[in-house]
Structure 1
Amino acid sequence: MSFIFSKEQRLLNSKDYTHVFTASERKSSDSYFTVLRRFSLSEKYSRLGVVVAKKNIRRAHERNRVKRLIRESFRYYQWSNSYDVVVLAKHSAQYVDNRVLFKSLLRHWERIGQ
């Protein structure tokens, strides 16, 4: 099991994001995140896309903290199938500590992985 977050494990362009947004197969949402999943275009890896809007989280250091946590959580959680996953951060994510966000993400990974 590898915990590396390589370039192959990222959604890199708008085509990849559109693939998930247009017809997501699973959706999970709470007060901190909305997570969308679709079977991957890539055969090898599950891939992650992160959307943290400046409109929702104003300060750059808070946006970066949330993005770091999302990537870290994604690296630790491994699926047997390959999925394209997009995580959208909500406004309330900036006000809670890392432990709460990490637990929230783990619940999302379990829900969408079924």
Structure 2
Amino acid sequence: MSRQGFPRSLRLLNAGDFRYVFAQADLKVHAKGMLALARFNSCGHTRIGLVAGKKNVKLAVQRNRFKRLARESFRLRQQQLPTLDIVLLARRGVDDLDNATLQRQLHGMWKRLQRDARRFDTASAPTGTKRDA
């Protein structure tokens, strides 16, 4: 069995990393019970940060389930995503979704992020304002 991990290099780890995305998100993608904010980075790979607040998802078991499924979905698809810092926020109603629906929603979000990042890339390439560090 191969070892499949989720190394620290693929995660947003500190408040500064999250602040970087919240300050000026280049991309926003909505799905039922979730919101993804993304900003281009210069570290050479995609990173993700997860936010599942008690206000939106009451039970710890549901917050942990959301984060576990989101990490696994991201890990499987992160090679296809452009170099982004992504903050995935759990919204009200995410705890009502079953695992299969949540996985479909996440898969759709990654596809939309990929498509929107391509559009953003081509739209801002002539001006040179695509990526600011």
TM-score, structure 1 normalization? 0.91
In the alignment, structure 1 residue 53 sits paired with structure 2 residue 48: no
Q: Which residue of 1 aligns with 2:95?
A: 94
Q: 1:75 to 1:87 in 2, by over 3 A?
A: same
Unaligned runs of 5+ in 2: 116-133
Q: Is the 8 A contact 1:28 1:35 kept in 2?
A: yes
Q: Is the 8 A contact 2:46 2:81 kept in 1?
A: no
Q: Which residue of 1 aligns with 2:10?
A: 9
Tell me, in whole angstroms, the C-alpha distance in 2 between the residues paired with 1:41 and 1:17. Answer: 15
Cα drift, residue 41 of structure 1: 4.0
Equivalenced residues, count: 112
Q: Which residue of 1 aligns with 2:39?
A: 38
Unaligned runs of 5+ in 1: none
In the alignment, structure 1 residue 110 sits paired with structure 2 residue 117: no
Q: Which residue of 2 aligns with 1:63?
A: 63
State, as a whole percentage, how many aligned pairs show the same letter: 37
Q: 1:100 to 1:8 in 2, by over 3 A?
A: same
Q: Which residue of 2 aligns with 1:84?
A: 85
Tell me, in whole angstroms, the C-alpha distance in 2 between the residues paired with 1:70 and 1:32. Answer: 12
Segments ≥4 residues shifted beyond 6 Å: none
Q: 1:58 to 1:112 in 2, by over 3 A?
A: same
Cα drift, residue 80 of structure 1: 5.2
Q: Is the 8 A contact 1:46 1:79 kept in 2?
A: no
Cα drift, residue 84 of structure 1: 0.4
Cα drift, residue 96 of structure 1: 1.4
Q: Which residue of 1 aligns with 2:126?
A: none
Cα drift, residue 31 of structure 1: 2.1
Deviations for 1:4-31, whole angstroms, at most 9, x for unmatched residues?
Answer: 3100000000110011111111110022
Pick 1 or 2: higher relative contact order, CA cutoff 8 A, min separation 6.
1
Tell me, in whole angstroms, the C-alpha distance in 1 between the residues paired with 2:35 and 2:14. Answer: 20
Q: Which residue of 1 aligns with 2:131?
A: none
In the alignment, structure 1 residue 27 sits paired with structure 2 residue 28: yes
Larger Rg belongs to: 2
